[in-house]
Every structure is written in structure tokens, then in C-alpha cells.
Structure 1
């Protein structure tokens, strides 16, 4: 088991970035447990988060940044189909497209072409909630191609 310490500063100028760093890390590992403590300091009060985790080889495998230039012509077609699905879904839900999926997520899906919802979970940005909400439809689009 490994450990990693995070500091989540309370000041609004740092809070979002610190929290995003923690969330990004959690996407890449297998969570075991955490210990949190509030540190009162006259300089800068913050939360101290100690994470106990195990390596997640599957997450590391797909965490390599894939860019659109890395896609084959077939994968570019898959990407265009996924973008059309995202546009339609965003219009249906009346939300911005990025709230459905970011471009980087769609590029990773087109590159890795997951076969089921479990494999979709290895794509960076896809946690349990997003898979529950959109996983079946994404796999449906992929299987239709």
C-alpha cells in the first residue's frame, strides 16, 4: 500500500486547483482509505488529506494523453460520431456539451474503443456517475460503428 499527502487550502484562490489535483489523482489509483485533518494556521488554514492507495495499472494504461492527431482515419470517424451523440445529448438535456463529455474524453474513447461499461471506466474522466449516466449510450454508439 502506498500513501500520498494532499493539502487543500481553504482560500478561494487555491481551493479549486487543490481539489482538482486530488480528484485527478483519485482517477488514477485504487483508493483504499483516507485520513483527513483540518489544520488551523494563522498563515493559511487547510485540510490535510492522507490517501492510502494501491496502483491501478488499468488506469495508468489509459491515462496517457491521446490527441486527435494520434487517431487513425477510422478512429477520427468514431470521434465525429461521438461528437454528434454528445451534441444531441446536450441539446436533449439542455446543458453545455462539455458537461456531457470533454473533447479529450471523446478522443480517448475513440482511441481505446472500449467494448463495455467496465472498460469505459478506465478512460480518464469516467467515474461511476458518468458511466451510469452515459455509459450505455456511448457503448451503443461504438457498437453501431
Structure 2
């Protein structure tokens, strides 16, 4: 059972952002401080990645654990309310992520996906991973 009223839950859900989340902002600021320049939520790239490096074709996504189905088989069983809405919605999000990955890969893009909580906890590791990928892609060109 939900601890909040329908109106409280509605307001909570409306407040959730699609772009500019805490994890995205932390990542973007860290990369900018290191001298990397990127585009945020570039609509000209399929799937509108959170960060793009268009010259080297690197797309970075920061995915929320709930919305993109991290540990989905376990979490799916823990959903208490409105399962007939949430299960198909989250499974469609996961399917869309796979479609975006395959389309971008076909177009020659390198895709990096990070879970938002892991990114917040291990920012330096994630930055190093991104820098390694950028260096690999720059030497290819």
C-alpha cells in the first residue's frame, strides 16, 4: 500500500526531471572542469543522449535505477501499487534503451551508460572510464 495520498504521489511524480538530474549535472560539471566540451541532450543524435561528443561519436547516458529497470526482476516483485501501469512502462523504457543502443551502434557511435547512484558514488572511476574512451576514440580518428 502507498504511504502517500493520490494527490501527494502525483505531485512527487511531477517533480521528477527528465533532464538535468543531480547525477547528470555532477558528471557534466566534472567533465567541463577537466576541459572536455560536449553537448547536453543533443536532439540531432538519436535517443537524445545526456552528453554527446559528436566529433568522436561518443554518447553518454545517465539512467535512473527505477525508470530504466536496474535489477528489474527483483524490483518488479517489490512494486506495490499500480503494477499494471509501471511494469509495462519500465519494460518499454528498457526496450527503448536497447533500441537506442543498437541504432547508435549501427551509426558508428560508442555508447556509455551509467546508473545515476553508481555515478554519484564512484564519480572518479566513471570519469576515468569516460576519459579512456575519449582517448581511444581520438586515436582512432
Choose 1 or 2 for highest CA Rg: 1
Same fold at TM > 0.5: no
Q: Give TM-score, length-normalised by structure 2.
A: 0.27
